[in-house]
Structure 1
Amino acid sequence: MDSRNDDRIVVVGLGYVGLPLALALAKRFPVTGLDIDGGRIAELKDGHDRTREVEPDALAASSITLTSSADDCHGADIYIVTVPTPVDSSNRPDLGPVLSATRTVAALLDAARKPVIVYESTVYPGVTEDICGPLIEELTGLKRGQDFYLGYSPERINPGDREHTVDRITKVVAGENEEITERLAAVYGVVTSGGIFKAATIKTAEAAKVIENAQRDINIAFMNEITQIFARLGLSIWDVLAAAGTKWNFLPFQPGLVGGHCIGVDPYYLSHRAQELGLEPHVILAGRSINDGMGEWVADRLHDLAGRKGSVLVMGLAFKENVPDLRNTRVVDVIARLKQLGHVVTVHDPLVDPAEARHEYDLDVSTGALEGRYDIVLVAVPHQEYAELDDSTLTGLVHDHGLLADLKNVYGGRMLNVRRWTL
């Protein structure tokens, strides 16, 4: 089944994933972007994307219809759900956003159009067909495979990455039957130059997505573990990696704080499903434990090196460099442990929203000029603005006999007249 240029498409959720996808689709199809956050819609209509994934010119030039009202989205041919899939305080999957979006979509379906509901949210195998599909049937009285159809196409958005954008990556698609798979391949195929991979089944596509991030998590956990081992030996992980990296098949993973909406979350979806099946996912959970404990380990190292409690400037709160995304940032673990050890902590980040930091983590964040002097200056997130600081500005932030802690070795090539530490 080929796509039709008059297929009406609704993208539900306009965050890092949904907005770039919706704009790409809008170049070929009539697209409505739905987000329950009215403030988000107002900003987008004014040409401002708080995620910094889309430029104002691209927003202004698009034919997309933006709305926070589901009433504007009745009777579409394809609904694409791109809402978050977080975990709760016990690291169990929180399907609340996906189920809420599913309820919204269910109320909009027109069986006469034989609509397709596609999920891009990361889930464990079975959620689309065994949870979302039956919920739609229950709410609507419609029959799956007859009145509506299901599909899955895992998102692969990497915040801040301008190379692997939605219009350049290989897109995995799967429908509940061959005809739907072909239709989704045709729809997604017109928006990406990276090609389409047709997964064997929806569950296969769900599984492929969840292991992509679990694999990275486990590899980074190994890096974090050996970093802690080498610290006991007085070795820098960066020196070790430079030597090991000369071997042709050595994998170039690096240690660090593992946060964000994917790598620090998705392995818990897979481990949850494994435990439901009576299997204990030892490797997955061991990796998660190591990475979840890395922030506290960093804080303890800084405390030991300082030799006393004092003032600390933490530079960077976002979960990764050059993005404003605060979701699941593990910098907060370092901050919490430093405070627990008696240090007075000041937080700076030029990109994040201070109101969001206050709401999500009860932290005050400065976004202006760097000022003051501190016993410890921790460069936790290597934003470009920090990397471009000149030597005098950087060292001027550190008290005499203080410590400059460079978590990702941003300043490794500089001769700085200050006591330094890195992993």
Structure 2
Amino acid sequence: MTAFTADAALGEELVALRRRLHAHPEVGLQTPRTQAVLLEALDGLGLELTTGRALTSVTGVLRGALPGPTVLLRADMDGLPVTETTGLEFASADGTMHACGHDLHMAGLVGAARMLAARRAELPGTVVFMFEPGEEGFAGARTMIEEGVLEASGERPVAAYTIHVDCVTPFGSAVTRTGTIMASASVLRIRVAGTGGHAAYPHHAVDPVPVAAEIVLAIQTFAARRIPAVDPAVISVTRISSDSLASNVLAASVDLEANIRTLSRGALATIRGELPTLVTAIGEAHGCTMTVEFVDSYPVTVNDPAETARVLEVLGERYGDRLVLLPEPGMASEDFAFVLEEVPGTLVFLGVQAEGATAPMHSEGAVFDDSGLAEHAATFAELAWRRLHDIR
């Protein structure tokens, strides 16, 4: 039997909070306005509240009246540099947008904090509420870990959970899987330096442009021939630019950037270890000077089997036949992966597709149905409650 129900009055409050957050997104690690709204929303719940040093995070610790372990619940705070075109009354108007649903994530976690705080006397253990800026490419979770979020209660959590909404998944459904659920994300930055020269006399120069073209082809061949087909890896060259400003001037240098996605740590290790060497060798073989940087961004997101079994029991009770098991992982990435490298846990998607809406996440027209926020909050609270009571 579920311990928490979707309270209509709380749901109305959470919708109002979500829309307030949606109207004024902030990008990156510094989200002071968002932080202030969250601190106001959490005030009076009896949480031990702390804020980040290198980023405007919020960490809340709820200590139950009964002894027990610690569970961590996480929501991300930042928006994207996208100009919103939804036409909603509460749409952002400043060139930024909560196009990934982080406004719903925050509101849902605030709701869970209120539900759990109201039953503190029955709570055996501690819940850490992790509100994280900088998820969209800034590795905010990694910084929060460095600043001690996993030790906020005085002991490491035994489990960690997060809920991510999806605006193109049918409303009211819950989606997850055991094991790898999302890909790693890394970047390969390359500079191919030649000597430049006159376009009419390329033999008097070291032209980096055809070398860069050869490198692009080699990168695609590498993915197809060095990584097993059953262990997917996607390498996309996303940027090529030269320093030539005229059609009759050979470039002195070309910059390339490749985005790398893998579903296993082994594939990532192969790419990290071998691809920079290959790229460097090609450039140097043509007489170019090479600068190659491999930048690890987000690790593979892996749902722990034991914790996911617990989560599936909860989701099965709450969502019934609206619970969907993903047949395979997706190639997008999540920096909750940093938490899951340290603490066993699970990432869950909730479908919040609005009627008639088709625009995908991260797009300027993405619309999220927020009428399910009370259930979102209750699901979050249930996951922590059941884990602390260790009801299987």
Which interval holds the TM-score relative to the shorter structure? Answer: under 0.3
Greater relative contact order (CA < 8 Å, ≥ 6 in sequence): 2
TM-score of the aligned structures, taking structure 2 as reference length: 0.24
User: Is the strand fraction higher in 1 or 2?
Assistant: 2
TM-score of the aligned structures, taking structure 1 as reference length: 0.23
